Structure 1
Amino acid sequence: MCSTPSGFTFSDLFAGVGGFHAAMHAAGGRWAFASEIDPHAARVYDYNWLRPLRASTTEHPNGLQEFKVSGDIVTLTDPVVQVPHADVLTAGFPCQPFSKSGKQLGMDETRGTLFWNIARILQDEATRPSVVLLENVRNLAGPKHQQTFATIVRTLRQLGYRTASRPAVFSPHLLPPELGGRPQVRERVFILAHYVGNAAAEDPANFDNPIVTPKSTFGDWKKTDWDLARHLPLDPDTDVGDRYELDSTERKWIETWDGLLTEVAERLGPGERLPGFPIWSDDFRSVEAAADLIEVAELRGEPLPAWKADFLIKNARFYERHADIIDRYRMIIDGFPASRRKFEWQAGSHRPLDETIMHFRPSGIRAKRPDYVPALVAITQTTVLGTRRRLTPRETARLQGLPDTFEFRQSDDTNWDDYVTQKDAPSYKQMGNGVNVGAAFFVFSRYVLEHADEIPNHIVEAVRAASDQGRRGPDSILS
């Protein structure tokens, strides 16, 4: 990893393998502290980010800690805050329910949640950062968590931080490649705040709109412009190991559904498409039989939800129209596992499945256009490329905006210059749990520059210089 001129220091909480580190480094920052409870992720972080620092300097930026990822943030903030000061604090914190949400208790209301541990750092004048960047799942901005989000905002303001009343919700697939975008739908909530003192923070005149929204646009770029093979880019199949190839059983699932869907598509009329609702072989029956099932459920006093009744009728109509085709494939499909007897077509106009990307989900097989992929997750739902193979860990790292110099290697506990290569399972998990580098870099840089008159100048100048160097994207810096 190359180094950049250091204009500010940053602390990295719930650090994972270092997505925020990469973003802050690209923005002109210098690492001061990291905390991560997962030992495997912490060792990957150390190998990629701290081992090079140890090799280049013996002077630690805060003078208190060696170049090593610390453990559980709970023990590092309670009862005494042991986190050193840094100019910027980042945290992709887990968000447990707030047991007292809505009682206007502010800081006390967050007790028992990991946000409370972040707040302890912000409360202490000796450790208080100038800028805060928090990241969480999209649901934090949803209707079920309005009180949770309101509590976070209220607490930040009571601690002297200016922050918007609504969160920034953003995904890397909305950004063009030159701004650090990636072909992955990964909507996340970003909460940005900077210290201005209590009076200014709680003044309604200072309540901002979010820095970006899911409807933000950038020039002529459209999310449909993505091409996964070109923009990621995908590695040539010949360079990918055999272990990523689909096995014969998986190929049989795809080939069977491909045959059925191709025959159905050939008889569709002009303007018709394959159905967008989940096609489920277990519900292939006549419309009359489906209506009987719905009626029986009502007579029993256990009426089906409206979506389920609609699902049954749509599948029945699909079956009646195409029974001559479906019945030739049905015996094979009925032998598949339950989760493979259901298929969701989300790939637009019909095309061979080899020209789509797919996911083997617990709820069924889903096919999509080969432009951008759904969010990486920490469980095994790795994107499948046609009938060929899964994405490799290297390709998932690219989806998260990490440079190809990033390695899935763990530094050894006893000798930090030694390492072991990590197995694929934890690598996929770490990417599913990580923050996207380009999205984090963009929202942070944009926020700092738009509030430049209230943020310390050395932070602003570092971000401005890094944005100019990287054409506002981190890729050319993290090379």
Structure 2
Amino acid sequence: MPKIRFIDLFSGIGGMRLAFEEAARSLNLATECVLSSEINPDAQLVYHKNFADTPLGDIRLIERLPKHDILLAGFPCQSFSAAGKKAGFGDTRGTLFFEIMRLIDTAKPQAFIFENVRGLVSHDGGRTLETIKNEIKSRGYSFDCFLLNSSNFNLPQNRVRVYLVGILNASPQFGLISDLGPKDSYSCNHQQLSLFSPLSKLVTVADILEDNPDPKYDCSPDFVKALKQIVNNDLNRLHGIRLIDYRGGNSIHSWELGLRGKCSLDEIELMNLFILKRRNKEFGSDRDGKLLTQEQIATFFARPNLDEILDSLVTKKYLQRNNNKYKPVSGNFSFEVYKFLDPNKISVTIVASDANRLGVYFHDRVRRITPREAARLQGFFDSFILHPNDDKAYYQLGNSVSINAVKAVALEVISKL
């Protein structure tokens, strides 16, 4: 059986390796990972448990790469992501791309597959991606860039990532189709993943949920009781609901739940109007609005006891007062769950920072999704060994790749060699 030798840089828990090996196996090709690298000890632990291979540490300490056919690299994304500072190559994590180029020069593999966040495409007006393209093409590689959504690859997750692929001394024509997918997780317009693949069945969140997970994932009785009051005991209304304090829309707020102290109807009305009205142009152009004075608040909430209501909300820590101006104490980390998934739809993007606080109402239980369910959202097999610490497992899965999407990319690249 022919064998493909590959290298797995910035390997994390091994998502790209797992997907690549699956792709090769489906083509009756054997694989050999000749080197892997991952700096995080917790990720190294999980990688070793699943592949019996402990990755090397800091990529900057690797002098040269051994001979191999394909290079895989999910290089750090924080520098380019919407969640980060978007520092790009001004960030030391961004410069690690050039470490990949340095190592490519030592071995000249036949092809590469890189994965990153979609923000890489638009970062710095497209100049960052153009720099990457020039670095790659100057070494004799082709360069193709695809924006792919995991929901188009039999995974119930609205996750868009960019895949950069290239082959040495070639001009391949790939069958992949860039597709951002749905604007949100509740208007999924399912597409085929490539020109040569049939339209697949839409997979929903219900398909990856466990039937009877450990009760430790259930939300607290007090939290459930507060939710029931909001939805008039119809917990099905939780499907797709966000729990967040700085925007309106399909949301439940902490003051409605009484998480920091029960609020009167007047206090709830004021808070809901506050987060809506403070974004009006008359108060400023900030995306989420400016701090408002009591006089400004009175323009949309005229009550004779306004000062008492404001004092009460400050005492309960729903509002913060700075120099006689007010702003909501915003954020979503005070909630046990920040978003309830709809079992009949697809999931929002799971990310490292809050994958542990995605919730679901399913089989008469209000609970958080389990690490295994988070793994399934990313396409990991149930046989894949997760980190024994739940919080670390959620974090690693939020940082990982979608197996099905990487496998589709790998199949395209391997077929062109």
SS at 2:231 equivalent: helix
Match of 1:379 in 2: 353
Q: Which deviations, in whole Å up to 9, do the C-alpha atoms of 1:310-345 show, x marking residues without a partner? A: xxxxxx9xx99xxxxxxxxxx99x97978xx999xx
- 1:205-216 residue pairs with structure 2 within 5 A? 206=171, 211-214=176-179
- Match of residue 174, structure 1, among 142, 152, 168: 152
Aligned alpha-carbon RMSD (Å): 4.2
Corresponding residue of 2:244:
none
Q: Which residue identity is paired with 2:23?
A: A
Amino acid paired to 1:403: F
Q: Are 2:68 and 2:109, in contact at CA under 8 Å, matched by a contact in 1?
A: yes
| Distance apart, 1:288 and its partner CA | 10
Q: 1:441 to 1:252 in 2, by over 3 A?
A: same
Q: 1:221 to 1:94 in 2, by over 3 A?
A: same
Deviation above 6 Å: which 4+ runs of structure 1? 207-210, 286-295, 334-338, 359-364
**Please, what TM-score do these two structures have when normalized by structure 2?**
0.68
Q: Is the 8 A contact 1:138 1:188 kept in 2?
A: yes
Structure 2 residue identity aligned to 1:192: V
| Pairing 1:306-455 to 2, within 5 Å after superposition | 308=289, 365-370=338-343, 371-382=345-356, 383-386=358-361, 387-408=365-386, 422-449=388-415, 452=416, 455=417
Matched, 1:236 2:211: yes
SS at match of 2:57: coil
Unaligned runs of at least 5 residues, structure 2:
25-30, 80-86, 182-190, 193-197, 239-247, 256-266, 291-296, 302-311, 320-327
Cα distance between partner residues in 2 of 1:399 and 1:209: 26
Q: Could you tell me which of 203, 227, 233 is aligned with 2:204?
A: 227
1:284 match? 269
Distance change (3 Å), C-alpha of 1:111 and 1:399: closer
Q: 1:407 to 1:72 in 2, by over 3 A?
A: same
C-alpha spacing 1:284/1:437, structure 2 compared with 1 (3 Å): same
Does structure 2 retain, via aligned residues, the 8 Å contact 1:13–1:92? yes
**Alignment-mate amino acid for residue 58 of structure 2:** D
- 1:469 — aligned with what? none
- Structure 1 residue 360 displacement after superposition: 6.9
Could you tell me how far apart the structure 2 residues matched to 1:121 and 1:294 are? 49
Residue 120 (str. 1) matches residue 105 (str. 2): no
Report the alpha carbon displacement of residue 405 of structure 1 after superposing the two structures with TM: 1.2
Match of 1:49 in 2: 51
Deviation at 1:279, TM superposition (A): 6.2
What residue identity is the alignment partner of 2:161? R
* Structure with more contact order per residue of length (Cα contacts < 8 Å, sep ≥ 6): 1
What residue in structure 1 maps to residue 35 of structure 2?
Answer: 33
Q: When the two structures are superposed, what TM-score results if normalisation uses the length of structure 1?
A: 0.60
Q: Is 1:85 matched up with 2:67?
A: yes
The separation in 1 between residues aligned to 2:224 and 2:354, in whole angstroms, is 17
Q: 1:234-281: per-residue Cα shift (whole Å, max 9, x none)?
A: 2112xx22211111233134223222999x99xxxxxxxxx8465656
Distance in 1 separating the partners of 2:215 and 2:159? 28
How far off its partner does 1:136 sit?
0.5
Listed one character per residue, the Cα deviations across residues 402-421 of structure 1 (whole Å, up to 9, x for unaligned) are: 11111125xxxxxxxxxxxx
Does the 8 Å CA contact 1:170/1:187 hold for their aligned counterparts? yes
Gaps of 5+ in 1: 51-66, 102-109, 176-180, 201-205, 266-274, 310-315, 321-330, 344-358, 410-421, 456-479
Shift of 1:400: 1.5
Give the structure with the higher percent helix: 1
Output one character per residue of 1:162-201: Cα deviation in whole Å (capped at 9) or x when no partner: 012xx211122112xxxxx2111111111011111xxx6x
Question: CA shift at 1:70, angstroms?
Answer: 0.7
- Confirm or deny: 8 A CA contact 1:17 1:44 kept in the other structure: yes
CA distance in 2, matches of 1:98, 1:145: 12
Per-residue Cα deviation, 1:96-130 (whole angstroms, up to 9, x for no partner): 345589xxxxxxxx997000110012222xx1211
CA contact (8 A) 2:136 2:142 kept: yes
Quote the Cα distance in structure 2 between the aligned partners of 1:279 and 1:23: 38
Identical pairs, percent: 26
The residue aligned with 1:272 is none
Q: Is the 8 A contact 1:360 1:381 kept in 2?
A: no
Per-residue deviation at 1:69?
1.4
Deviation at 1:293, TM superposition (A): 6.7
**Paired AA for residue 112 in structure 2:** V
Which whole-Å CA distance do the structure 2 matches of 1:111 and 1:335 have between them? 40
Instruction: For residue 115 of structure 2, give the secondary structure of its aligned residue in structure 1.
Output: strand
